[in-house]
Structure 1
Amino acid sequence: MTYRISGLDPAPYQTLFGRPVDELAVVNAQRMVVTDQPGFPCRVRLDDVEPGRSVLLLNHLSVATGPYRARHAIFIEEGAEAAAVYRDTVPPALNRRVLSVRAFDHHDLMMDATLAQPGEADAAIRRLLADERVRYIHTHNAVRGCFAATVERVE
């Protein structure tokens, strides 16, 4: 079975790049300078941002409808231009973290979930996608709870 993990489309966030702090505050966003690596995973590139670079800390609303629709904080690297796409492989920012891996059906209802330790996400994804009812998977950083990425089944 084949799967794809894509970073978020940067277009909705690009209008915030370079904005003054007071304008970011209006939309509940903050600019931060990366101090540690790993520690600031960009949800567009799906890798940790290098120290000294700027990220925006902002709120992300999942596209799911119904009771599992969620909001949480994410980092977007300022200047991120294109969403990373990984096919049948787990991106670096996900592979080095403990993840909550949550499988959803066509009605956006959670079918199953598991924890994946660093390096174990691929096996967890494949196990959940073995259930034909699973349409997509959401991954979240298990420690902080932040949305990490969506995994899509590729037919």
Structure 2
Amino acid sequence: MHFRLHALPLAPFRPLFELDDAGLAALGARRMTVDAPHSAPCRVSLADAAPGERLILLNHRHLDAPSSPYRSEGPVFVREAAVEASPAAGEIPDMVARRLLSVRLYDADWMMLDADVVDGAGLADRLADWLATPSAAAAHIHTARRGCFLAAATRA
């Protein structure tokens, strides 16, 4: 079973880059400069921001199905220089592969079917197995330690 990871689209975040710090703060967002490698994973480019790079930290609702009790939102980083990622089928970007992950599997009604903590290096095999399940529709990938949403995965 092939799968594909999906980054967040850039378009909804683009207007934020035009706001000043006060405008961002009014939305509960912050402009930041990265100070350490691998500390700020961008959910649009699916790449870690480099030290010195600017990004926006904001709350984002990544599961917004009104009928699901699993609606969820949380903090995400978006690099000001982000280019929307489109990983090939079966590809796990380094940003994801290098982390300990919490992965949640959902059906078409956004009811959780399963969840597990997975080392990023083993994510491809786990996604392939899970998405081979006929009732599975999507998996959401989060950082295990902080619980932040990273990307979604569906059948390719």
Aligned counterpart for 1:97 among listed residues 89, 96, 99 = 99
**Equivalent-residue separation in structure 1 for 2:120 and 2:136 (angstroms):** 23
| 1:125 matched residue in structure 2 | 127
**Equivalent-residue separation in structure 2 for 1:91 and 1:110 (angstroms):** 24
TM-score normalised to structure 2 length: 0.94
- Cα deviations across residues 46-75 of structure 1 (Å, max 9, x unaligned)? 110111000100011023421111010010
**Equivalent-residue separation in structure 2 for 1:76 and 1:149 (angstroms):** 12
Residues 26 and 138 of structure 1, relative CA distance in 2, 3 Å threshold: same
Give the deviation of 1:140 after TM superposition: 0.4
**Equivalent-residue separation in structure 2 for 1:143 and 1:107 (angstroms):** 27
| 2:6 matched residue in structure 1 | 6
| 1:54 matched residue in structure 2 | 54
- Runs of 4 or more off by more than 6 Å in structure 1? none
Residues 117 and 81 of structure 1, relative CA distance in 2, 3 Å threshold: closer
Give the deviation of 1:82 after TM superposition: 2.4
Give the deviation of 1:17 after TM superposition: 0.8
Aligned residues: 154
| 2:22 matched residue in structure 1 | 22
**Equivalent-residue separation in structure 2 for 1:86 and 1:25 (angstroms):** 36
**Equivalent-residue separation in structure 1 for 2:120 and 2:114 (angstroms):** 20
**Equivalent-residue separation in structure 2 for 1:6 and 1:150 (angstroms):** 5
Give the deviation of 1:79 after TM superposition: 2.8
Residue segments in structure 2 that go unaligned for 5+ positions in a row: none
Give the deviation of 1:92 after TM superposition: 1.2
Residue segments in structure 1 that go unaligned for 5+ positions in a row: none
- Cα deviations across residues 116-148 of structure 1 (Å, max 9, x unaligned)? 113111111112112111000000000000001
**Equivalent-residue separation in structure 2 for 1:110 and 1:143 (angstroms):** 20
| 2:33 matched residue in structure 1 | 33
| 2:150 matched residue in structure 1 | 148
| 2:73 matched residue in structure 1 | 71
Kept in 1, the 8 Å contact 2:63–2:70? The answer is no
RMSD: 1.2
**Equivalent-residue separation in structure 1 for 2:153 and 2:59 (angstroms):** 20
What secondary structure does 2:121 align onto?
coil
TM-score normalised to structure 1 length: 0.94
